A and B are shown apart, each in its own frame.
Chain A
Amino acid sequence: MASKGLFGSSLVKKYWMALTGLFLISFLVVHVTLNAFIFFNDGGVTFNTGAEFMAKNPIIRTMEIVLFIGLIAHIVDGLMLWSQNRAARPVKYAMEKGSANRSWYSASMGILGTLILFFLIMHLWHFWVKSRITGLHHYGLDAEGQENLYGAMLEVFANPWVVLLYVLGCFSLFWHLLHGFKSAFQSLGLNHKRYNPIIAFLGTAFSIVVPTLFALMPVSIYLGWIK
């Protein structure tokens, strides 16, 4: 029987990929909701209240560690799958017409994931490092006397190149989710004629709505739509 154990087989790797992927999707819901507070356009007061809650709440701080573990597991698992998949075809085709039978993004999850990882490193440097490690003193306090993470956003998104990189990051996320959302359900065996259209619709809607909202944040700040 499966002598490779609970973590070794190809399918178990796919289950972990799907479970960590869905967990990261659940994080995106929280992240986009909280960040959307900036659209109240109240000088970041509502957003800063939310950010302070997230920074101080012990449950959230614990989940932050779980989130990092989930992200690393998703990356490591993905790299293992990627290297095995490469080894499975040592001699490439001279002529391969992938467009005939698959979407380019479903066959490019590794590259899209890598782009998202590069984005994440930049993103963590911009905000996470400041809010959790070096501190936000530089940005003063907001109108309500709270720590001003919003001030950091205003500063970071004043640079058009950074705004462009954030928008590109959102595009990578869009394509990664467009395949990943549906794929996670299939990997876990959740495929049913009656529910497939619902999963497909939710997957597409999520992939469009969430990255669009994220992309709107740096764009709105840069263009001065919110202040």
Chain B
Amino acid sequence: MGNMKLTLKVWRQNGPNDNGKIVDYPVNDVSEDMSFLEMLDVLNDDLVRKGDDPIAFDHDCREGICGMCSLFINGEAHGPGRGITTCQLHMRKFKDGDTIYVEPWRSAAFPVIKDLATNRGAFDRIQAAGGFVSVNTSGNLVDGNAVPIPKDDADKAFDAATCIGCGACVATCPNGSAMLFTAAKVSQLSLLPQGHPEAKRRALAMVEQMDKEGFGNCSNTGACEIECPKGISLEHIARLNREYLVATVTKE
């Protein structure tokens, strides 16, 4: 085991309707090679042994690709460090004796389920509102690879498609805006020829759903781009702004 001693200030909330509060937990024997989630596992192990309720937090793949882990650590989404999720954050980023705040994503659209786990279903509903390409399945399907696509466009679409929907953009944004997520999901399709036919409808429908969910409004602070574990660019937000503008002005 390791030799770091830490004090965690963790948000404990017994359910969606509980008020919740910050609770202090001393954690000993933390190795600098642990990931942040492994450190929480150790703490939870301890809590279970004592008969306490373990801290609920989201996690799944633990290799930075699923988008399940969240956590606002010491005032930053996924903690200090850039281009990483919380499962990729290692305890070597902290020092012996540090006090670490651990809070859930704070957004009206992401209600807390328990402790640090939030319901990010709002993202699924934005996606379902238009983040797809309708495919003709009647037997005359065109092979996607048969459609020529400029390399630059394909690269940009792929960059947008790397969004894992973790919600760090919303958590970080001083306005709680979901524009980076929505813009990435719009861009990954609208940059490709297969996405063109539904582009206007998609931009209108996804923004409408985004507004319905209670997210805030983008004010271009650029905070989301910096905290995004996948480095999704603000360029995509501008693209969504552009597409929505054209769609709004030209819709019948």
Closest-by-CB residue of A relative to B222 is A102
Q: Complex formed: what's the CA distance from A171 to B208 in Å?
A: 37
Is chain A's interface secondary structure helix, strand, loop, or mixed overall? loop
Question: Smallest distance from the beta carbon of A225 to chain B beta carbons, Å?
Answer: 38
List chain B residues, Cβ under 8 A from A88: 107-109, 175-177, 214-216
B76 on interface, CB distance cutoff 8 Å: yes
In this complex, the member of A89, A179, A186 whose beta carbon has the largest number of chain B beta carbons within 10 angstroms is A89
A11 interface hit (Cβ, 8 Å): yes
Residue contact A2 to B218, C-beta cutoff 8 Å: no
Closest to B72 in A: A93
Q: Is the CB of B214 within 8 A of A96?
A: no
Q: Cβ of A190 < 8 Å from any Cβ of B?
A: yes
A91 to B174, CA, bound (A): 12
When distances are taken between beta carbons in the complex, the residues of chain B under 8 Å from A9 are 207-208, 211, 244, 248
**Binding site of B, secondary structure by majority: helix, strand, loop or mixed?**
mixed
The reply to whether A191 and B235 contact each other, CB–CB distance below 8 Å, is: yes
Contact B211 A10 (CB under 8 A): yes
Q: List 22 A-B contacts (CB under 8 A).
A: A2-B248, A4-B208, A6-B248, A9-B211, A11-B245, A84-B217, A85-B216, A88-B175, A89-B106, A89-B176, A95-B74, A96-B72, A98-B174, A100-B80, A107-B219, A109-B219, A186-B234, A187-B241, A188-B241, A189-B241, A190-B238, A193-B235
A188 touching B245, Cβ below 8 Å: yes
Are B241 and A11 closer than 8 Å at their CB atoms? yes
Top 4 A-B pairs, shortest CB-CB distance: A189-B242, A97-B75, A191-B238, A88-B216
A182 interface residue per 8 A CB criterion = yes
B86 CB → nearest A CB, Å:
15
Beyond A102-B221, A189-B245, A191-B238, is A92–B205 a contact (Cβ under 8 Å)? no
Is B59 an interface residue, CB under 8 A from the partner? no
Docked CA distance A53–B77 (Å)? 56
* Whole-angstrom distance between the Cβ of A178 and the nearest chain B Cβ: 12
Query: Which residues of B lie under 8 Å from residue A62 when comparing CB positions?
Result: none
Task: Note all chain A residues with C-beta closer than 8 A to B222.
Answer: 101-102, 106
Complex-state Cα separation, A185 to B9, whole angstroms:
41
Which residues from 1 to 50 on chain B have a C-beta closer than 8 Å to any C-beta of chain A? 9, 11, 20, 22
